[in-house]
Amino acid sequence: MSDSEDNVLNLCTKKARMSLVANADGSGDDQDDKSSTASTIMEDASSRSDTPTQGVGGRRGRGRNKKWRTKLQFKCTNFVKEDHGQPIFGIDVNKNTKDGEPIVFASVGHNRVTIYELQENGKIKLLQAYADPCADENFYCCAWSFDDVTGQPLVAVAGLRGIIRILSPIALCCVKHFVGHGIAVNELKFHPKDPNMLLSASKDHTIRLWNIKTDVCVVKFGGVDGHRDEVLSADFNITGNLITTCGMDHSLKIWKTDTETIQAAMKDSYTYNPANSNRPFPTVAQHFPDFSTRDIHRNYVDCVRWFGNFILSKSCENCIICWKPGPLADMNYPLRLSDSNVSILHRFDYKDCDIWYMRFGLDFWQKVGVHCRRYQ
């Protein structure tokens, strides 16, 4: 087992309290058909769809009114308010910097992409700002990568209009854009081992894998047994051979990327040249996930992250759930679409996060988690 898995198992057996505590129970499919509240209607430029009505919470446990002191104490040293006056939907830290280089992060909101530097004294320095030429654009997500030849940083951004843009902070412009989804893109993730492979999750019920070096769509995940509603979040595991996705259909799905067909397509995407071919690149259509469940959450599942061999996911139920496919004791459990057996390790409760599309994140070493909440 990895250190991350040992930590989670110890947390379960000792019932230790962390900065996030637990609640919420799994649910079946009885409410799944009611999951889409106007999800196919074009969203307002400054907000997302309304959160569906919440059910009655679980019963309160003993000692729930006690005040617990968190193990990690943080304080706010600075903040920035962007002048567009609209919600900031996404922030991503550039993890590709070298030792000794300053921390750089990007934020997206409205039709703006802003890049900041975090200084040692706690101050935040504005480095660059980009505005989409369309005033109706509303960016929802961003992700950092780098050029595998020059090593120069790249930022991928996407949002309401479904156009994925690749920005170069060195060239100070948008160097590429990809059109394929045609409707809102909710999440972007780069492959942990290949900086050219970009994953996008969209409102069109699909997830797509792009090669940003050769400008081709390599794989389209979705279809027959794919998501039945808007895909809200996606994540690679640490080796990049598995993808987990979630969405408005209350479901969580796992897709393999190390199959012979997909690996061949990823390899061929590097040698494809449209100038030498009369046909477009043969994008792989992956209709069937390798695992699927709706037994973890009873509402929109709006954020999911790998945690070693475990998965962390949240809905608008004031709870993050740590779980894994199959029985807890079997860490080599084979993924099968026909088997939806899951083991819930722990439930992390918190307050004031009962509206959807408020995501959480983990640090690079997966030792600290951060979640959003409504401002009081």
Residue ranges of domains in the chain: 3-34+70-371
151, pLDDT greater than 90 = yes
Reading the block at residue 125, the tokens are: 């320095």
CATH of domain 3-34+70-371: 2.130.10.10
pLDDT in tens, 285-338: 999 999 999 999 988 999 999 999 999 999 988 889 999 999 988 888 889 888
% of the chain beyond a pLDDT of 90: 62
What pLDDT score does 317 carry? 85
> At 120, is the pLDDT very low, low, confident or very high (cuts 50, 70, 90)?
confident
Two structure tokens written together for 276 = 């030498």
pLDDT score recorded for residue 95: 93
114 has a pLDDT exceeding 90 = yes
Reply yes or no on whether the pLDDT at 145 is more than 60.
yes
- % the chain with pLDDT above 70: 80
Q: Is the pLDDT score of 43 beyond 80?
A: no
**Residue 314 in 3-state DSSP?**
strand
| Rounded Cα–Cα distance for residues 96 and 172 (Å) | 19
Neighbours of 98 (CB within 10 A): 6
**What is the distance between the alpha carbons of residues 376 and 357, in angstroms, rounded to a whole number?**
17
Interacting residues of 174 by C-beta distance below 8 A, sequence separation 6+: 130, 165, 166, 167, 168
What pTM was estimated for this model as a whole?
0.81
pLDDT band at 20 (very low <50, low <70, confident <90, very high): very low
258 closest CA partner among 234, 242, 275, 273: 242
The CA–CA distances, whole Å, from 152 to 68, 97, 169 equal 45, 10, 8
Residues 6+ apart with CB under 8 A from 128: 114, 115, 169, 172
Question: pLDDT digit string (tens) for 206-257?
Answer: 999 999 999 999 999 999 999 999 999 999 999 999 999 999 999 999 999 9
- Which region among 67-76, 186-195, 207-216 has the lowest average model confidence (pLDDT)? 67-76
| DSSP summary character for residue 21 | B
pLDDT one-digit tens code per residue, 99-112: 889 999 999 999 99
Predicted confidence band of residue 127 (pLDDT cuts 50, 70, 90): very high
pLDDT band at 62 (very low <50, low <70, confident <90, very high): low
Q: Residue range 324-353: average pLDDT?
A: 88
pLDDT at residue 227 in the model: 97
Whether residue 57 is predicted with pLDDT greater than 60 in this model: the reply is no
Q: Taking Cα atoms as reference points, which of 206, 160, 205, 201 lies closest to residue 183? A: 160
Structure tokens given for 152: 């120069």
E strand or H helix that includes residue 130: strand 124-131
